Structure formats: C-alpha cells, structure tokens
A = this chain, B = another copy of it.
Amino acid sequence: VDELSVAVVGAAGLLGREVLDVLDSRQFPTGHLRLLGTHRTAGGEIQRDGRTDKIALLGPSAFDDVDVAFFSAGPGVSGEYGPLAARAGATVIDLTSRFRLDEVVPLIVPQVNVAALAERRERNIVATPSAVATALAVVLAPLSIAAGLRRVVVSTYQGVAGAGRRALVGLSQETVDLLGSRGTRRTRFARPIAFNCVPQVGAVEPGGATTHELRVVEEVRKVLGEPSLALTVTAVRVPIFFGVGIGVTLETEQPLDVEEAAQVLRTAPGMVVHHGETDAYPTPADAVGTEAVHVGRLRPDVAAEHGLALWIALDGVRTVALDAVAIAEFLAREQL
C-alpha cells in the first residue's frame, strides 16, 4: 500500500486527537499529515510521539494534494469545507452529523455495511454515525439477519466526552464545586450535570424528541438498510467522563433464545460478548480505552413474544475514531 496524504480537520478536539492516536496505533500508511483547524485552534501545536505538528488554518487551498480528509470539527465546518475538500480530490470521511442523513452520502459502520462505500462516488464524502448509532448497528445487524427485528427500545447512559473536550472540563469543574460546597455555577449542559442525569442530548424538537434521539433512529435505519425499523430512543447524559452505556429491549420476528443470540453476537465482528457467568457484564468504565463494542446482561424478556434484553458499553470517542480510520484503511487497500 502506498503512503497517503492525510488531513485531520479539528485536530485539537477530543475526536480529532483520537483519530491521530488511532492512525498511529494502527500504523496507517500516513505520508504527509496536515492538521487543520478554524481560527480558534489554528496556530496551536499537537504533540505526540515526540513530534510536534502545527495546526494550519482551514482555507480554499488547504486540501490540495490531500488523499483522505477526516472531519471532526463540528457539522458547520464539515458543511463548509467538506465539499471543497472533495472537489479538491480528497476522499472526505466526516465524523460529524453534517452528512449522516444525506441521501447521496453513504453512512458506514465498517463491521456492518462496508460495501456501501462504493456509493460515495457521486460526492466522494463518507459519513460515520454517532457512537450510540454505531454501537446499536453493530449489535442489531447480526440479530436482524438471524431473526429479524420487530421492535427495539433503547435508553442511553452517555458520558460527557461525546460533547467534546470542554464538556469534560465542565463536568470536572461542576463536580469539584459541588464537593467543595462552592455551589452550582453555570453548566455547559441543559441542566447541571454533576451528580445528576439530564434527559436531553441535543435540542428538544417540537414533537418532544431531541435531535440526537431522532438522528440515532435514522442513522441506525440507514446503516441497517431498514428504513421502517421500529426503534425508540431515550437519550440521557450521565455524569461520567468517557464511556457510554446503552440498555436495549427488543423483539425479534423469529424465535431466538438467549444462547442462540449470544452465539450470533459472538460470531459477528466488532463485539466482545460477556455471557455465561451471572455477573459478567461490562460497564462504561470497563470499556474505556478498548476498541470493541461490549455486550452483556443478555437475558430473555418474558414480557414480550421473542423478547430479549441486553446492555451495551463502549468507549464512544474511541469507537468513532477507530471506525473512521478503518474506513480509510479500506479505501487505501482499494487505492481510494
């Protein structure tokens, strides 16, 4: 495989930095590396492995001679510079929400629908789903193939890392203030998050669901290729830094008992199944720093016909960065 010229837009952010780490740890054939940012971060430096790279300012010629451009600086930046990068000849891998539900942009979870990468030709932009949608797609895809999905109900327990680096500082500050009896100051969330749960991720839409909840549903449907999948999501921010937990209750079309489901999940890619011992289940803290989607508490839901319940834990930031780089690896192997 030849070396590729790589750009990372949003390199100073939590997700951009994770993409850099994954490129290194997976020994991606990075030739020239260009770190890019907006006025807020351009000029800053990123240190890793003894190297120091400077963040350059996004601009019209920022993507000249770039083969692959990762975008993780927010949907606004992706919307403005993504098409520009693609026109300049780069394959854009967008980690933001900007193009996920765009009909002519493929939404890829490598373990599930990598074949859809071929659909990128029109725009040369590929999108990755949110961490929650990614984990759900990884777990639901093999269950759907094995037994069909009649109904899925999801509740999330999302750490603040999904909201970016400043959210980490926010939770830390709020926690210290509360423990130190300094009272609650301003919060970066819809409500104070320290020692609290906030059932709002994204904006509340007129119908009562949040943008995030609605998007997770549509993202999972798009990745699975099941546009009418009966999926309901309640998304809740919890006071943890990294890691995401997801409670899933589902009904399959065909009977699938717990041991069969465990076997189906074990043989599917991208998962670690914790099953067999009664207390074998993953927590978000256990999942942090790992590369897999962890599944546990697999059990029958006797209240429904063909009912199953399970629990998912993952490192959301790591998972999204890893999948983005995995997409680039596929593209590299087929020489873009």
Contacts and interface: CB of A to CB of B under 8 A. Distances in A.
Contact of A247 (B159, B206, B236, B311): B236
Copies of the protein in its oligomer = 2
A8 to B, nearest CB: 28
B300 A207 contact: yes
Contact of A209 (B236, B245, B299): B299
Contacts of A279: 190, 200, 204
A196 B244 CA distance: 9
Nearest to A312: B199
A327 to B, nearest CB: 29
A199 B303 contact: no
A155 interface: yes
B281 A199 contact: yes
Report, as a range, how many residues of chain A touch the other chain.
35 or more
Contact of A175 (B157, B179, B196): B179
A240 interface: yes
Contact of A179 (B172, B296, B297, B298): B172
B303 A234 contact: no
Interface of A: 151, 153, 155, 157, 159, 172, 175-176, 179, 190-192, 195-200, 204-209, 217, 230-232, 234, 236, 238-241, 243, 245, 247, 249, 258, 278-279, 281, 283-286, 296-301, 303-304, 307, 309, 311
